[in-house]
Amino acid sequence: MKVALLGGSFNPPHVGHLMAASYVHATQGVDAVWLMPTFHHPFGKQLEPFDARVRMCEALCRETSGWLQTSLVERELGGGGRTVDTLAYLVERHPDTRFSLIIGSDILRDLPQWKDFDRIQRMAHVIVLYRAGYPAPDTVGPPLAEVSSTQVRDQLARGLEPSELVPSAVLQVAREEGLYGLRGPR
Ligand SMILES: Nc1ncnc2c1ncn2[C@@H]1O[C@H](COP(=O)(O)OP(=O)(O)OP(=O)(O)O)[C@@H](O)[C@H]1O
Ligand SMILES: O=C(O)c1ccc[n+]([C@@H]2O[C@H](COP(=O)([O-])O)[C@@H](O)[C@H]2O)c1
């Protein structure tokens, strides 16, 4: 079994995440992609509650035929949210699975602050996707969608409905959970 991991804040998940996961599933020979929502962000980012982000990730996964799943591993581990620790745990727990790790090219500038990125590379094949606006050497594939959770949160803060950037089922969960100033079921 080959699994590609897509870790993130998913605050909220958006069509860029779906496109990134679909691209990897369609071209990189993996059987599944696991979204790994961050429990504690290593750099202390303020996030909506974990359970609500998980619900939104699960709604995103339902847009696929089942190959996209949400992993609760970072809550299970509870620690500092360092990817090397998550990966080491997964590798030990799933001896028959080969893991790769997806990152967008915007992350490349942060890698010097990551814990043990060299060790990550020894445990997993790292797939660096070309995130639109962040050209870099050795990325895989065409530029992917110019969309971010920040842009989605900004639209919501201005009272706009980001229905072109966020799958409607994800927005529905955000409404039910009362996230980002949204209110009530529709
Ligand atoms: N549009 C996109 N194209 C390619 N990769 C993406 C895209 N959006 C997010 N990613 C990648 O998905 C992972 C998780 O991203 P994250 O959940 O932090 O979303 P974000 O849009 O970058 O959020 P924020 O704006 O809050 O920083 C990262 O590796 C990121 O590079
Ligand atoms: O391992 C680290 O040191 C590390 C430092 C910062 C971020 N990460 C991971 O990178 C992924 C994307 O993070 P972000 O900030 O873009 O949401 C997410 O899974 C984080 O846990 C990992």
Q: Model-level pTM greater than 0.90? A: yes
From 14, 33, 38, the mutation candidate for ligand 2 (largest count of ligand atoms within 8 A of CB) is 38
Q: Is residue 181 part of a domain?
A: no
Q: Is residue 162 part of a domain?
A: no
Q: What digits encode the pLDDT tens for the residues 24-67? A: 999 999 999 999 999 999 998 999 999 999 999 999 999 999 99
Q: What digits encode the pLDDT tens for the residues 145-170? A: 999 999 999 999 999 999 999 999 99
Residue nearest atom 31 of ligand 1, based on CA coordinates: 104
Domain count of the fold of the chain:
1
In the prediction, which pLDDT does 183 show? 81
How far is residue 137's CA from residue 128's CA, in Å, rounded to a whole number?
Answer: 10
Q: What digits encode the pLDDT tens for the residues 63-100? A: 999 999 999 999 999 988 999 999 999 999 999 999 99
Q: Which residues contact 176 (CB under 8 A, 6 or more apart)?
A: 184, 185
Q: Is residue 177 part of a domain?
A: no
In the prediction, which pLDDT does 79 show? 81
Q: Is residue 175 part of a domain?
A: no
* pLDDT exceeds cutoff 90 at 185: no
State the CATH number of the domain containing residue 72. 3.40.50.620
Q: Is residue 92 part of a domain?
A: yes
Ligand 1 binding pocket, CB closer than 6 Å: 6, 8-11, 16-17, 20, 103-104, 106-107, 129, 131, 144-145, 147-150
Whole domain around residue 30: which residue ranges? Answer: 2-145
Q: Is residue 106 part of a domain?
A: yes
**Structure token pair of residue 113:** 């602050």
